[in-house]
Amino acid sequence: MNNTDTSPEAEKVLIEILRNMSPAKKGDLVFDVLKMGRDIAIAGLRYRFPNSADEQIRLLYAEQHLGEKLFREVYGDRSSE
């Protein structure tokens, strides 16, 4: 893993835990991290746009993660809103 903030002994323990973990549990961890990332991104948008409604935050998040071209394909041109 080569983490500079983790001792080699702790890294060995972590690797052993991950090796012994079931695929389902590993999947759960991945989805938890993805959800955490989404929640942090949404919190950042709420901080930057404190007066925006939930729907507007959802659209800002979608545009941020889909990119402008795909966002417009999915949601249409929303520039007039």
Report the length, in residues, of the chain: 81
Residue 81 within any structural domain of the chain: no
Q: For residue 24, which phi and psi values (nearest 5 degrees)?
A: -65, -45
Confirm whether 50 is domain-assigned. yes
Please report whether residue 47 resides in a domain. Answer: yes
- Digit-coded pLDDT (tens) for 23-62: 999 999 999 999 999 999 999 999 999 999 999 999 999 9
For residues 9-24, give the mean pLDDT. 95
- pTM over 0.85? The answer is no
Cβ pair 57, 49 in contact under 8 A: yes
Q: Is position 53 within any domain?
A: yes
Task: Give the count of domains, the chain.
Answer: 1
| pLDDT at residue 5 greater than cutoff 60 | yes
* Residue 35 exposure: Cα atoms within 13 Å on the Cβ side: 6
Which pLDDT belongs to residue 81? 61
The answer to whether position 5 is within a domain reads no
Residue 32 lies in a domain: yes
Query: To 10 degrees, what angle do helices 23-48 and 54-66 make?
Result: 120
The first and second tokens of residue 34, run together, are 């993805």
- Whether the predicted pLDDT of 2 surpasses 70: no
Q: What is the pLDDT of residues 56-70, one digit of tens each?
A: 999 999 999 999 999
38 in any annotated domain: yes
Domain with 52, as residue range(s), is 22-75
CA distance 1 to 55: 40
Please report how many Cα atoms fall inside a 13 Å half-sphere around the Cα of residue 49, on the Cβ side.
13
